[in-house]
Amino acid sequence: MSGHIGHALCVQIFGESHGAALGATLDGLPAGFRVDLPALEAFLQRRTAHRGGELATGRRESDKPRILSGLKDGVTTGQPITAIFENADTHSADYAFLPDRPRPGHADYPAMVKSAGYDDLRGGGYHSGRLTLAYAFAGGLALQYLAAQGVRIASHALMIGGVTDTPVDPLTPDMDALQACRTFPVPTLDATAGERMRQAILAAKAAEDSVGGVAEVVATGLPAGLGAPFFDGVEAVAAAHFFSIPAVKGVAFGAGFAAANMRGSAYNDPYTVADHRVVTIKNDAGGLLGGLTDGMPVVARVAFRPTPSIGLAQQTVSLTAMEETTLTVQGRHDPCIVVRALPVVEGALALALCDLWLGRHGDAPAEATDAD
Amino acid sequence: MSGHIGHALCVQIFGESHGAALGATLDGLPAGFRVDLPALEAFLQRRTAHRGGELATGRRESDKPRILSGLKDGVTTGQPITAIFENADTHSADYAFLPDRPRPGHADYPAMVKSAGYDDLRGGGYHSGRLTLAYAFAGGLALQYLAAQGVRIASHALMIGGVTDTPVDPLTPDMDALQACRTFPVPTLDATAGERMRQAILAAKAAEDSVGGVAEVVATGLPAGLGAPFFDGVEAVAAAHFFSIPAVKGVAFGAGFAAANMRGSAYNDPYTVADHRVVTIKNDAGGLLGGLTDGMPVVARVAFRPTPSIGLAQQTVSLTAMEETTLTVQGRHDPCIVVRALPVVEGALALALCDLWLGRHGDAPAEATDAD
Amino acid sequence: MSGHIGHALCVQIFGESHGAALGATLDGLPAGFRVDLPALEAFLQRRTAHRGGELATGRRESDKPRILSGLKDGVTTGQPITAIFENADTHSADYAFLPDRPRPGHADYPAMVKSAGYDDLRGGGYHSGRLTLAYAFAGGLALQYLAAQGVRIASHALMIGGVTDTPVDPLTPDMDALQACRTFPVPTLDATAGERMRQAILAAKAAEDSVGGVAEVVATGLPAGLGAPFFDGVEAVAAAHFFSIPAVKGVAFGAGFAAANMRGSAYNDPYTVADHRVVTIKNDAGGLLGGLTDGMPVVARVAFRPTPSIGLAQQTVSLTAMEETTLTVQGRHDPCIVVRALPVVEGALALALCDLWLGRHGDAPAEATDAD
Amino acid sequence: MSGHIGHALCVQIFGESHGAALGATLDGLPAGFRVDLPALEAFLQRRTAHRGGELATGRRESDKPRILSGLKDGVTTGQPITAIFENADTHSADYAFLPDRPRPGHADYPAMVKSAGYDDLRGGGYHSGRLTLAYAFAGGLALQYLAAQGVRIASHALMIGGVTDTPVDPLTPDMDALQACRTFPVPTLDATAGERMRQAILAAKAAEDSVGGVAEVVATGLPAGLGAPFFDGVEAVAAAHFFSIPAVKGVAFGAGFAAANMRGSAYNDPYTVADHRVVTIKNDAGGLLGGLTDGMPVVARVAFRPTPSIGLAQQTVSLTAMEETTLTVQGRHDPCIVVRALPVVEGALALALCDLWLGRHGDAPAEATDAD
C-alpha cells in the first residue's frame, strides 16, 4: 500500500506517467460544499508545464480533470470525489535505457528491486512527479474547503539556484502579495529575486543540468488548538504530506533548523493580548506548539533536491551486465521543479490541516457553503 | 485521537506527566522474537534524567518498564506488548501558574483551548517530554527486531548550542564509534565537540536559560527497495515519527536543505558495482530515493528547539484577566533535551523502518530469533 | 469517509449510479502477479443484468472495466490498480419522486438527512447496488491472487423466496459443483431447487414485488493460523466486508445461529490426524476458531433482504409537505438481487482473506505468478 | 496487529489471561466529559464471575479497573484513557495439556500454528474471554458518552439452551424493562424464560457440558443519518465489533435472516409522520437502511456458540505425537457465557456507534457534560 493517506479526510492516488490515466479520490469532504471548478482548474494550471514555459519540461498535457463522482451541480454530495487525467503526450521510447540503466538520483533502481522488475517505470511511472497532478487535485479541494472556514494558504519560492527571496513575515504575512506573485515566471515576494532565479534555472537548463530550491508556505486564519500532541500533531501530519511529494528532502516549521541554535529566552514567543485575543509578539514557532496550532500563522519550509533527470552524461550501472556504464537521459524534463511544485505544497498543507479540521469538527454539513 | 501510529506495526501511547503512570502498547511484532530485556532497559536509561546528570532535570524516576503483556519467558507471543512506567517524583505544586499563565513556547495555551480547559497540564501532562519514555520503549523493541534482521541504528549530537560535531560519513558511517560515544556526557564523534557542547549547556543552565540542537541518526544494513513512493515512503513515515517527538522543528534526509542548493549533476549519487552489489559512490540522497531505500545508509537530521521551560522571567498573559503578565517557571527542567532525546530519535527511526519492514515481509514468525 | 477498507490490501470505491462513471482502486497487491483479464471480465459478467436476464433489472450496461493503472502487460506493477466503469443507460427521470418521497426500505431518507439534501440519489446514487460492480472488480483481483496461493472460493444461492438448496458439505465442499452451477439461471447445487427459486423470483416480479435470500460462500485451501483474535479476526474482517454489501442483514459462520442452540459436546469439532495433517472430523465452526482459520473450509452465510424498489404502491411521506403519501416506483429494478450478488459475496470474502494473507506474508513479490 | 479498532474513537486492548495484567486504551473521547466511575464499575461487574455465581466460572477476580491516564478529577482530558486489571486468581497448572493437546472448538490449535508455538495459551492467553473485560471498559465509556447524547443501549438474553425470551418490540422497545432485568440471574424480559434458561445452564453444567445462546441488543435515541454506505456503515462497523467478541458466530440486524424470506412489500418499513418527525410504522430494518440509521431503534442479534472448555472427555490430537488422543479439561469454565457477555455486547455496539458519532460531530468539547 502506498497511495492512501488521511484519517478524517482521505486521499487515494493512482496512475502511471505513461499509463492510460492518473487520478485521485478525495473521501471525507462534507456534503453541501460548492466547489469553484474554474478556480480549481486554475489552481491545477499553476503546476502545468504550459505554465512553466521555458522553465519546464516540453511534455504538453491539458491537465484538465474529468470529475467522475462526488459532485452534483458543482456541490459536494458527501461521497468520494474522483477525478482522472488522461495521459496523451507520452514518449515512452525516451525510456529505452530502462530497466537496464537506472538514473542516478531517481527511484528507478530501488523501484526495480522492490517490484522484482515488474514496476512500470516509463516516464517515472507511478514515481513520477506527474502523480502530483492527482494529489494537487485533492489538495485544491481541501484548499477551497479551508478557505470557506477562513483559512488562507499561499506560498512562494524562497530559494532557487542559490538565489534567496525575502522570507514571509511570520507574524503578519502579506498573503495578497503571495497571491499576486503566483503569475510571475518564478513566484517571489521580491521580483528581482524571482528574475535571478529564472536566470539560474535557464543557466542550469543550458548546461543540461538542473537546480533545486526551497518553497515557503503559509497558512493564516487558523484557530488555536487544532491538531494534537504526538502522532496527529500538525507537524507530523503535514510533514507526512510534504515528504510524500517526490524530491522533498527537508521540512521545517517556523525557525526550523535555526531554532536549534537559539536559546529558549530568544526562541520562545511571548504572549500578549490584542483585540481580546491571545497572540504572540513574534512567531519563531511557526504557529505550532507541540503539534497544536497557537492561532498565529503556520509557516513551513520545504526543500527540494534538483531534478535527477539531466542531459549531462552520468555514471550508472547496467543491471544486466552488472558493470558500470554511462547514461545520457534524452527525455523531456524540468530543469527545476520548485515553481510547478508550489501549488502541490499548498495543497499538501491544506490536506493535512483539513484532515485535522474535519477530525475536530466532524463531517456534518452546515448550510451549503461556497468556496468563496 | 492522537496516541496511535503505524500500519503493520502500531504504537499506542498513554499517560500524563503527573498522572498515575504512563505507558505504551506495541502491536504487530511477530511471535518468537527473544527480547533482550537488560539491553532494552539500558536503552531506556540513555534518556533518563539520571543519565543526563548535571545536564538534565532534577526529577528522579526509575523509568523501569513493567511489562504487562506480549512476552512469555522474554519471547514475543505475537500479541500486543504493553509496558507501564509509574510516576513517583512529581511536584505538581510547581505548576500553580497553570492554567492561568501559559508558558511561552510550550503547548500549554493551545492545549487549554483545544480541551476547553479540561486537559491535565501538570508537568506538561500528556504533552510532556516524559511521554517519550513510553514511545522509546516501543522504539527500543523495534530497534532490537531490526537488529536481528541486520539493521543497525545509531545517532549522535550533531550540534548543540552552536557547537558542531563531525557529521557521520554517509557512505561508510562508523557505527562502532557512534555506539561507543553513547556513554559520553554528550555523545559526539569528536569528543572535544562534546565537551564544548556540555559547556554550552551548563552556561545556558547557569543563565537559567536553555539551548536546542540537532541530532543525526543513521541506519545501516537496509536492503534496497524498502518503503514506497508517496505516503508510505520512508521519508514520510519516518518524518511523521520524528515530528511526533515534542520539540522537533525540522527534519532532513541526506544532504537535506543543502540539497536544495546543489545542481543535479552534483547531487545525484552515481552508481557503481562493488562485491556484486549495486552501490553509490557518494550518498547525498541519504539512502533514500523517492520514498525507497537504495541500499546505502539512511541518514537523517532532526532539529530540536530549546526547552521552553526556563527560569528567566518571560512575558505571557493571564487567561483569566486577559492581560499581559510575567511568568517565572520554578519547576525542574532540562537545559537541553537533545542528549536525552538521542535514543528517542533512534527509536523513532526504528519504528518507521520496522513498520515498513513488516508490511513488506509480513508477521509470520520464522524460527525463534534473538535480539543479538 | 465511507469508501475505504483494508489494512494491507485496501479498496477505495467511488461513483454514483447516474453519475459519469464509477470505479475502484485496489492498493496493496504485490508486483509480479499476472491477472487473467478475460477471467476477471467473466467474473464481473456474473453480476451483470444481462446475465440476470428475466430475473434482473432492465438496465443494460457493458460493465466492462477500463483499467487505468497498476497493470503492465497484464501483470501487476505493485502500484494501485484502478478501473472505471462508464455509466451509459441511465433513466434519471424515473427518480422524479426524489428527494421528496423516499422509498421505504431504501437509504433515500437517511441519506437525505445525512447530506442535508446534497447527496445525489438518482438511481440510488452512491448507495446503489451498482457500486458493487466496482467493489467486485477489486474482489475479483483478490480472488485471483488467492487462487494462485491455492485458495478457492465459490458460492451458491442457499435460499430464495422460501426455497432452500442443499447446503454445502462443510468438511468436503464440492467446489467443482459450485463452480459448475454458476451458469445456471439460479446457481444451486440442487438444480430443481434453483428452478423453483427462479419461479419464486418470477412470481414476485409478476406481482410487482421482490424477494430476498441467503448466499452461502466457501473458501478452501487456507492454512491454519490465518487471522487474529479480536479485531483482525477473519470473522470481524469478513463480516465488515459482507455487511458493506447493500441489502445484507445477517452474516453467520459455520453453524452460525444454530450453534447457539447446541451443547459444547455437540458443537466442538474433534480433531484427528489425516495425511500427517491436523484436521477436524466435522466443521460446525466453519473453519474459524476465535478469529483464526483452523485449516478446514471457511463457510459463511449472508442474508439479503428483498429489493426495496418494487412496483406495488407503498406508503411513504412527502418530506416537503411532511405528510403521508403513496409512492409507486417506476424505474427498472431487480426482483431479487441474490443471484447477481453471488460474485460480490465471493469477492468480499476474497478481499477479507487476501488482506489478512498479505498482512501475514507481506507484499514482497516472489517470482511472477499466474492467476491460474 | 490484532488489538486495535476504530477511526475517530480507537480501542487498543492488551494482556493475557494468566499474564500480569490486561487492559485497554480508549483514544478519541472528547475532553470535558465527566465519567460516572461507580456506574462504570457497576457496568463491569455485570460481566464478573461473581455476578454469574453458580452459572459462571469459579475464577475470582476483582475486575476493578485501575485508571492510569486520561481522566482528571473524573473528567476526560481529551487524551488516551488507559485502565489496567491485574490478574490474581490464575491456575496455570490446569493448562498442562497445552500446547500438546489443543481443545476442540477453542483457538488453541490455530494460535499455536500462527505463533509457531510462541503464543501464551495459559487460560486462553490473549484469546481468552477475559480480554473482554478490557474491551468492556472501553465500551462502558462509550456507553456513557452516548447516553449524554440521548442514546440508550440495553440488551437481554433472547435465547439460551433452546429457551427463548420475548423479543424486544423493535418499534417501541421497553428500555426500562431491559435495564431492570440486568440484575436477574439471567436477564430476560419474561422472567419465567430466564428461570428456564438458568435451569438449562445448570443442567449443562451438571452434565459437564456447556450451552450457547443469542443476545439481543437495542439502541434508542439515535438521529437519522448516522453511519455511511458501505465500509463505514453501522452494520459493517458494528458487526466488526460484535464478531471481535470471542464465541460470536452470527450477527443480524432487524429481521435479519428472517428478512431473507420476506417479500419487499412485507419487509419495507412504511413511513409516516408523528410529532413532526418522519418515523416508520414497523421496524424490520432494525433502524438501519444501507449503513445509515433511519432514526428508529437499532436492533441487533448476536449468536454465541457454547463454551468450548467442557469437563466431558473430548477427542483431540497430540501435536507432538501427531496422533489422536483424549482430552478432559480440568480448569474452571463458564457453562454459558451469554449472561456475562451482555455488557460486552452493549459496549461493542456503543463503541461502533460512538466512533461514527465522533466522526460525524468531531471531538471538539462542548461545555462539560455529564454521564447522566
CA atoms of D232 and D293, how far apart (whole Å) = 12
The type of residue at B255 is A
Taking the CA atoms of D361, D364, D365 and D366 in sequence, report the sign of the dihedral they define. Answer: negative
pLDDT confidence tier of residue B239, bands split at 50, 70 and 90 = very high
CA atoms within 13 A on the CB side of D339: 32
Q: Which three cell numbers stand for residue C243?
A: 455487511
Q: Is the pLDDT of residue D372 over 50?
A: no
Q: Which chains touch C (3 or more CB pairs under 8 A)?
A: A, B, D
* Chain D nearest-CA residue for B66: D20
Instruction: List chain A residues with CB under 8 Å of B322.
Output: 273, 276, 278
Q: How does DSSP assign B211-250, residue by residue? A: B-EEEEEEEESPPEEEE-SGGGSHHHHHHHHHHHSTTEEE
The answer for A256, left when phi > 0, alpha when psi is -120 to 50, beta otherwise, is left
Q: Least CB-CB distance to C303: which of D131, D259, D305? A: D259
Interchain proximity A16–C78, CB inside 8 Å: no
Mean pLDDT of chain D: 94
Q: Where are the domains of chain B?
A: 4-370
Q: What is the pLDDT of residue C58?
A: 80
Which residues in chain B have their CB less than 8 angstroms from residue A228's CB? Answer: 1-2, 114
Give dist(CA A47, CA A187) in Å, integer: 12
Instruction: Say whether B229 and A127 touch across the interface (CB within 8 A).
Output: yes
CB contact under 8 A, D8 and A359: yes
Mean pLDDT of A141-146: 98
Nearest to A359 among D79, D229, D363 (CB): D363
Position D296, amino acid: M
Which of D10, D66, D127, D21 is CA-nearest to residue B82? Answer: D21
Q: What is the pLDDT of residue C368?
A: 44
Q: Do D69 and B2 touch (CB under 8 A)?
A: no
Contacts of A237 in chain B (CB under 8 A): 240
Looking at residue A211, what is its pLDDT?
Answer: 98
Question: Buried b vs exposed e over A198-217: b needs ≥16 C-beta within 10 Å?
Answer: bebbbebbebbbbbbbbbbb
Q: Is A260's CB within 8 Å of B292's CB?
A: no
Chain D residue at shortest CA distance from A360: D362
Each of the 372 residues of chain C gets a pLDDT tens digit; together they read: 689 999 999 999 999 999 999 999 999 999 999 999 999 999 999 999 777 778 888 878 889 999 999 999 999 999 999 999 999 888 888 888 998 999 999 999 999 999 999 999 988 999 999 999 999 999 999 999 999 999 999 999 999 999 999 999 999 999 999 999 999 999 999 999 999 999 999 999 999 999 999 999 999 999 999 999 999 999 999 999 999 999 999 999 999 999 999 999 999 999 999 999 999 999 999 999 999 999 999 999 999 999 999 999 999 999 999 999 999 987 778 999 999 999 999 999 999 999 999 999 999 886 544 444
**What 3-state DSSP class applies to A351?**
helix
Q: Closest-CA residue in chain C for D14?
A: C230
The alpha carbon of B233 is separated from its chain's Cα centroid by a whole number of angstroms, namely 19
The letter for the amino acid at D318 is: S
Q: How far apart are CA B208 and CA D77, in angstroms?
A: 31
Residues in chain A: 372
Give the model's confidence band at B366: pLDDT under 50 very low, under 70 low, under 90 confident, else very high.
low
pLDDT above 90: residue A95: no
Enumerate the residues of chain B whose CB falls inside 8 A of the CB of residue C364.
Answer: 360-361
> Which residues in chain D have Cβ-Cβ distances shorter than 8 Å to A361?
362, 364
Report the b/e string of C324-355 with b at 16+ CB within 10 A.
ebebebebbbbbbbbbbbbbbbbbbbbbbbbb
Say if B72 is an interface residue toward chain C (CB within 8 Å).
no
C359 shares contact with chain B (CB less than 8 Å): yes
Query: Who wins on pLDDT, D365 or D165?
Result: D165
Distance from CA of D34 to the nearest CA of B (A): 10
The distance of A226 to chain D (nearest Cα, Å) reads: 10
pLDDT at position A367 over 60: no
Grid coordinates given for A329: 537521459
Q: Containing H/E element for B15?
A: strand B10-15
Residue D157 contacts by C-beta under 8 Å, 6 or more apart in sequence?
D165, D186, D187, D188, D194, D197, D213, D214, D215, D216, D338, D339, D342
Cβ separation C10–A1 shorter than 8 A: yes
C39 touches chain D (CB under 8 A): no
Amino acid at B338: V
- The pLDDT tens digits for B313-329 are 999 999 999 999 999 98
CA distances from A161 to A1, A189, A203, D133, D368 (A): 35, 16, 10, 61, 54
C-alpha to C-alpha distance for D337 and C190, rounded to whole angstroms: 38
Q: What is the mean pLDDT of residues A132-153?
A: 98
Contact C96, C123 (CB under 8 A): no
What order of strands is seen across the sheet that includes strand A4-5?
A4-5, A10-15, A21-27, A81-86, A66-69
Burial of C94 (0-12, 13-18, 19+ CB in 10 A): middle
Cell of B354: 520496522
Q: Which of A279, A103, C308, A138 is nearest to B290 (CA)?
A: A103
Q: Do D250 and C257 touch (CB under 8 A)?
A: yes
User: Hey, what amino acid is at D295?
Assistant: G
What percent of the residues of chain B are helix, what percent strand, and what percent coil, each to the nearest 5?
A: 35, 25, 40
> What sign has the CA pseudo-torsion C111, C113, C115, C121?
positive
Alpha-carbon gap: C31 to the closest alpha carbon of chain A (Å): 5
Distance between CA atoms of residues B286 and B233, nearest Å? 14
Cα of A308 to nearest chain D Cα, Å: 38
Question: Can you tell me which residue has the cell 462539560?
Answer: D368
C15 vs A120: CB contact, 8 Å cut-off?
Answer: no
Measure the CA–CA gap between A53 and A250, rounded to whole angstroms: 27
In the predicted structure, residue B290 carries a pLDDT above the cut 70: yes
The dihedral sign for the CA sequence D256, D262, D266, D268? positive
- What's the pLDDT band for B368 if we cut at 50, 70, 90? very low
d(CA A79, CA C119): 8
Chain D within 8 Å of A358 (Cβ-Cβ)?
Answer: yes
What's the mean pLDDT when you consider all of chain A? 94
| Mean pLDDT, range B65-80, rounded to an integer | 97
Q: Which residues in chain B are closer than 8 Å to D116, comparing Cβ atoms?
A: 31-32, 365-368
Q: Could you give the CA distance from residue A338 to residue C269 in angstroms, rounded to a whole number?
A: 64
Cβ contact B240–A240 (<8 Å)? yes
Chains that touch B (3 or more CB pairs under 8 A): A, C, D
The complex scores an ipTM of 0.97
Quick one: cell of A5? 493517506
User: Inter-axis angle of helices C37-45 and C338-361, to 10 degrees?
Assistant: 140
Q: b/e per residue, B148-161, with b = 16+ CB within 10 A?
A: beebbbbbbbbbbb
Percent of chain A whose predicted confidence (pLDDT) is above 70: 98
**Closest CB from C230, C256, C261 relative to D2:** C230
Of B79, B229, B364, the CB nearest to C361: B364
Chain B interface includes D66 (CB < 8 A): yes
Q: State the nearest Cα–Cα gap between B13 and chain D, in angstroms.
A: 8
Joined together, the cell numbers standing for residue D217 give 441488543
Interval B87-142: pLDDT, tens: 988 888 888 899 899 999 999 999 999 999 999 998 899 999 999 999 999 999 99
pLDDT band at D311, cuts 50/70/90? very high
The residue to which cell 553509490 is assigned? B280
- pLDDT tens profile A11-67: 999 999 999 999 999 999 999 999 999 999 999 999 997 777 788 888 788 899 999
Q: Positive or negative, the Cα torsion across B224, B227, B230, B236?
A: negative
Lowest mean pLDDT of B31-35, C224-228, D118-122, D267-271, name the range. D118-122
Q: How far is C5 from chain B (nearest CA, A)?
A: 13
At CA C298, angle to CA C293 and CA C304, rounded to 5?
A: 130
Q: Catalogue the E-assigned strands of A97-255.
A: 152-160, 163-164, 213-220, 224-227, 248-253
Nearest-CA neighbor of C184 among C173, C175, C193?
Answer: C193
Q: Do A267 and B131 touch (CB under 8 A)?
A: no
The three state secondary structure string of C173-202 is CCHHHHHHHHHCCCCCCCHHHHHHHHHHHH
Helix (H) or strand (E) holding B203: helix B191-206
Nearest chain A residue to C26 by CA: give it. Answer: A1
Residues of D in contact with A364 (CB under 8 A): 360-361
Neighbour-count burial of A367, counting CB atoms closer than 10 A to its CB (0-12 exposed, 13-18 middle, 19+ buried): exposed
Query: A91-94 long-range CB contacts below 8 Å, 24 or more apart?
Result: A91/A59, A91/A123, A91/A331, A91/A332, A92/A18, A92/A122, A92/A123, A94/A123, A94/A329, A94/A330, A94/A331, A94/A332
- Chain B, 282 to 301: residues with Cβ < 8 Å from chain D are none
The angle, 0 to 180 degrees and rounded to 10, between the axes of the packed helices A234-244 and A338-361 is 140
Q: Which residues in chain C are closer than 8 Å to B358, comparing Cβ atoms?
A: 362
Superfamily in which the C4-370 domain is placed by CATH: Chorismate synthase AroC (3.60.150.10)
Residues 6 or more apart whose CB falls under 8 angstroms from that of D321 comprise none
Q: Is C210 on the interface with D (CB under 8 A)?
A: yes
Extract the C-alpha cell encoding B70.
506480549
Q: Do A107 and B281 touch (CB under 8 A)?
A: no
Q: How confident is the model at residue B2 (pLDDT cuts 50, 70, 90)?
A: confident
Distance of alpha carbon A122 from alpha carbon A112, whole angstroms:
12
- C243 contacts on D by Cβ (under 8 Å): 233, 235-236, 239
Contact C264 D294 (CB under 8 A): no
